[in-house]
Amino acid sequence: MASSTYGDDRTQRIMREQVQSRWMRAYEPIRHLDPILVGTALLLAGIGVALIFSATTTRVGQGGEASLGFVWRQLLALGLGGVGMVVAAVLDYRWIRGLAPLLYGVSIVLLVVVLIPSVGTLVNGSRRWISLGGFNLQPSEIAKIAVIIAIAALLYERGGEPTLGTLLACLALAGIPAGLIFLEPDLGSAIVIVWLLFVMFLVGGLPLRWLAGLAVGGIGAVAYAFIGGFIKSYQLERLTAFLDQGNSAQAGDALYQLNQSMIAIGSGQLAGQGFRQGTQNAAAFIPENHTDFIFTVVGEEFGFVGSLVLLALFAVLMWRGLRIAMIAKDLFGAIVASAIVGLLGLQVFVNVGMTIGIAPITGIPLPFVSYGGTSLIMWFALIGLLLNIHMRRFR
């Protein structure tokens, strides 16, 4: 009888140990969470909400929509972005790799649908959004994630040894969404897709001579687009304003926006004029200062010091992303992490650069900070992917 009791106790102990072992394996990735990455992203998003509040409350008081409407929608997007980040972090990224064809196909369908006049919402001459009740979905933001996962999966399957066939397949995977985005028209996001392709080719082991050839071909394609008249008049106006900032009769509103932007940033001087105390912001001199030109609010209200702090936070994100790319367990994770860092660096440089006159005005938002629900959700999903790769580097 005693022997039977001992056997039952031993069996129960073994079963408990097996359950505990499975539980530990299931939750082991959480032990490797990167709190700096998550905290920095949340801090940037919080700063963005405060800046949107400052940028919009004066303007809406002058006959715009209900007060705090932009802020509430951004907070809603922040909540959805948090959910997206958790989902992207929990699902094993190697399982997500298998979903690459589905994600890519959905993004292409959305890019086609947004071009339909009865579906896509026309704003300032561009058809970039699909209105879903009170939320505007921007398919080009979803396409960025889809392209990253699809091309990284293809390069991974080819074992990091790209052939001419792999090159052509990747060019097609990037070229189709880039072309559809260009038709919206959205030249900035189309260029972003091309940049992502270049970064992933670099990490994926493409020979440098092929990269040089692609760079030359890309420059030639952009030149042909301008010469062939494929660029819209307002896009040409923005480029003219960038190239001839001193005096350009063709620049029109773009030159006005650029001049007002530089005046606002310059007026902030060292420490800024104070939160919601910016004169350019209060007078609503800067169009779209809650979206593409939100960095003007930073410069005017918080000055050089505040601008430096904001850029430092982006530098922290890039540092953590590069670290994750370097310690990733496989090539797929390394390519995805590198592409996310490349995307972040390009968008920050172009967005900040166009407000101070060192980059053309392309309509690229400032990640986590600019107003835009789809963009914010997309960036938190990308942070979730980085967490995913980091947490599973030992499995």
Q: From first to last of its 395 residues, what are the pLDDT tens digits of the chain?
A: 455 554 555 565 555 544 444 544 544 566 668 899 999 999 999 999 999 999 888 655 444 444 688 899 999 999 999 999 999 999 888 899 999 999 999 999 999 999 998 888 877 777 888 888 777 889 999 999 999 999 999 999 887 667 888 888 999 999 999 999 988 888 889 889 989 998 999 888 888 887 888 888 777 777 777 676 666 666 666 666 666 665 555 555 667 788 888 888 988 899 889 888 888 877 778 877 888 899 999 999 999 999 999 999 999 999 999 999 999 989 999 999 999 999 999 999 999 999 988 888 887 899 999 999 999 999 999 999 999 999 887 66
| Packing angle, helices 100-113 and 164-182, rounded to 10 | 30
C-beta neighbour count of 80 within 10 angstroms: 17
What is the pTM assigned to this prediction?
0.87
Dihedral pair phi/psi, residue 94, rounded to 5°:
-70, -25
Identify which of 322, 327, 350 has the alpha carbon closest to the alpha carbon of residue 338. 322
Contact in structure between 32 and 390 (CB atoms under 8 Å)? yes
- Phi, psi values for residue 252, rounded to 5°: 55, -130
From CA 77, how far away is CA 93, in angstroms rounded?
A: 23
Contacts of residue 80, defined as CB under 8 A and 6 or more positions apart, other chains included, come to: 373, 377
Strand-pairing partners, residue 123, are: 126
**How is residue 146 written in tokens?**
């889809």
Place of tokens 């990733």: 328
136 and 374 Cβ atoms separated by less than 8 Å? yes
Return d(Cα 127, Cα 116) in angstroms, integer. 9
Domain ranges of the chain: 33-391
Sign for the pseudo-dihedral over CA of 182, 187, 189, 191: positive
Q: Please check whether residue 240 is in contact with residue 247, taking contact to mean a CB–CB distance below 8 angstroms.
A: no
